[in-house]
Every structure is written in structure tokens, then in C-alpha cells.
Structure 1
Amino acid sequence: MTSISEQLSDALGIMVMGMGLVFIFLSILIIAIGIVAKLFPASEATTATPVPVTPLPVTSNAPGHTGLDPKLVAAITSAIHQYRAK
């Protein structure tokens, strides 16, 4: 049986090796993506073009002009009251 200090040093070595491998892999991946981006630049058709923003029309919030069917509103209200009554 090995001592706790030997086990901790082995665990530390494995941890450093794993973190190093992940760092190397991610670095290679970033470099490869940069190379591919330079070899195959995006064409003008695929780049995002700014879309002009048009303001929404101003609507009044007058009661009775909700645009919803009153029967639907009554059904939803009734369902909520029944659910809360349980």
C-alpha cells in the first residue's frame, strides 16, 4: 500500500497532464478554425446585413379593444378560478 503523499502526487500529475492535454487540444482547434476562416472567407451573400428597423404603430390600450374574443377571455378566466379553487 502506498502512502497518501504518493497518491496525492500521482493525482496531481494526472490532473496537470489532463489539463495540459485539454489546453493543447483547444489551442489547436482555435488555430485550425482561424486557418479555415482565412482560406474560405464568407461571401457577401452570407454575411449579415443590417435590417432597417421600422417603428411599431402606436395603439391605445382602451378597455374593450383588446382584439381578443370575449368568450375566450371568459373561458380562460373561468378556468383560472376553477384551478385556484382546488
Structure 2
Amino acid sequence: MATVEAFAIAGLKIWFWSNDHEPPHFHAKRDGEWEVRVHFLLDPSEMIEVCWSRRPPTSRTLKDLTALAEQHRERLLQQWESIHGI
């Protein structure tokens, strides 16, 4: 597991799995509440995939995740490729 280096959001754990599958994405989690995959190369309206949820993420949190992912796409892709040996 590698922590996303491009940005952080207080209260969230944000990481890449080193043996994860295509397409490029990272995971974000609020412990005990939810986990999402963020497909950062997609349009912001299509980036978020909910993995599980006891209490859904707030719309503000999802907006922050998608905005930061869009803003840092190049760096996220570089980290993805580095982790996956591409």
C-alpha cells in the first residue's frame, strides 16, 4: 500500500494498492464509514465508485476528492505507474 503523495484531506486515508488492477485509481476511506475508488482519469462526474458504505460520504467530501484528483491527474498517474512498474 502506498499513500497518495499528490494531496491529502484531513480525516481520510488515501492510498494506492501496489498490486491493484487497471484502470488507474486510488482508494479513499473514512474509517468505519465508507470507502471509495477514485478513477482519476475519468470525467469528474464519473470518478467515484463506492466500495462500501455504512454512512455515505458527504457531497462536500466527494467534491473535494474529485476536484483534487482532477487538479493532480498527472502526478497521480506518475505515482500509479511508478508503483505498478510501468
More helix by share: 1
User: TM bucket by the smaller chain?
Assistant: under 0.3
**TM-score of the superposed pair, with normalisation by structure 1:** 0.22
Structure number, greater radius of gyration: 1
**TM-score of the superposed pair, with normalisation by structure 2:** 0.22
Higher relative contact order (CA closer than 8 Å, sequence separation 6+): 2
